[in-house]
Amino acid sequence: MLKPLKEKVTLGHLRSARQSGQKTAMLTCYDYTTARLMQAAGVPALLVGDSAANVILGHPTTLPVSLSFMIEITAAVRRGAPLAFLVADMPFGSYQASVAQGTRNICRMVKQSQCDCVKIEVTAHHLPLIRSLAAAGVPVMAHLGLRPQSVGVLGGYKYQGRTADEAASIVALALQMEEAGAVALLIEAVPPEVANAVIQRTSLPVIGCGAGPGCHGCVIVTHDGLGLTPSRPKFVPNLAELGDPLREAFGKYVHAVSTGAYPSAEHQYTMAPAEQDRLKAWIEKTDKNSPC
């Protein structure tokens, strides 16, 4: 069942998936160990999402996570999964101030993390930045639909494209992104009709996150799929319920330590009997209460 990655997954694979109909499975990943397991399981595409702010750092929104933290964890994921197509999320504040600031920070992310692509949450305001990055040769995935970094203006984590007008403006933005040089689209929390319209009007690979079955690939926050977050969003599949086994394992450890069952003989390092005797003699000789 498991098919570990054998060769490097590139943008070419995502592009050809658009023609072949082969869907791309993408998972969020935030650390080296999980990245190793994902590569061994054959996960072709990994996203180091700014959802790290929520599931790794415990913030209620994605806004507080820093660029240096995102670079550090993206580089760790790269070391764990050198063959996966690795997308790095640019955090809030790292590309909004100007084209120069965005280009500088995105180039820093690419150089220091060795990611294959960067993702930014876009409005039409970002078109000059996308053009500048395309000119610099940086592959950009444009994130449309629900944009969690704009939760304030969107008025909460609500799905987008509810009306025909809203849907049309998402499609128009997707087209502008393609024309400006984005290499892929990610569309979050929209009805399938909206994603399908984007797919029909553009020629880029489209990754959906709660956007229906028409997309060329799907991404979910791994912790949601594994049952590690307090609630699983409607569109996320139940991959496993790891919360209870983990809680049980931690409880087992507390019990073993507190009852003295751990560590037992099997968990101890050994000292040769002759060295034990020498140590005993030294302790006796240097015992501060010893008469000599």
Residues labelled catalytic:
188
Give least dist CB 222 to ligand KIV, A: 9
Query: If you search the block for the tokens 């409607």, which residue do you land on?
Result: 234
C-beta of 74 vs 196, nearer to ligand KIV? 74
Exactly one of 75, 130, 219, 226 binds ligand KIV (CB under 6 A); which one?
Answer: 219
Site string for ligand KIV, 139-178 (x = CB under 6 A): ----------------------------------------
The residue of the chain with the least Cβ separation from ligand KIV equals 49
- By CB under 6 A, what part of segment 28-87 binds ligand KIV? 28, 47, 49-51
What is the phi/psi pair of residue 96, to 5°? -90, -25
Q: Are strands 206-209 and 184-188 parallel, antiparallel or unpaired?
A: parallel
Give least dist CB 3 to ligand KIV, A: 24
C-beta of 109 vs 221, nearer to ligand KIV? 221
C-beta of 174 vs 285, nearer to ligand KIV? 174
Exactly one of 84, 87, 89, 92 binds ligand KIV (CB under 6 A); which one?
Answer: 89
C-beta of 70 vs 127, nearer to ligand KIV? 70
Q: Does the footprint of ligand KIV cover residue 122 (CB under 6 A)?
A: no
> Which helix (H) or strand (E) segment is 219 a member of?
strand 217-220
> Rounded distance, CA 98 to CA 111, Å?
20
Q: Is 169 helix (H, G, I), strand (E, B) or coil?
A: helix
Site string for ligand KIV, 20-39 (x = CB under 6 A): --------x-----------
Give the binding site for ligand KIV (CB under 6 A): 28, 47, 49-51, 89, 186, 188, 209, 219, 221
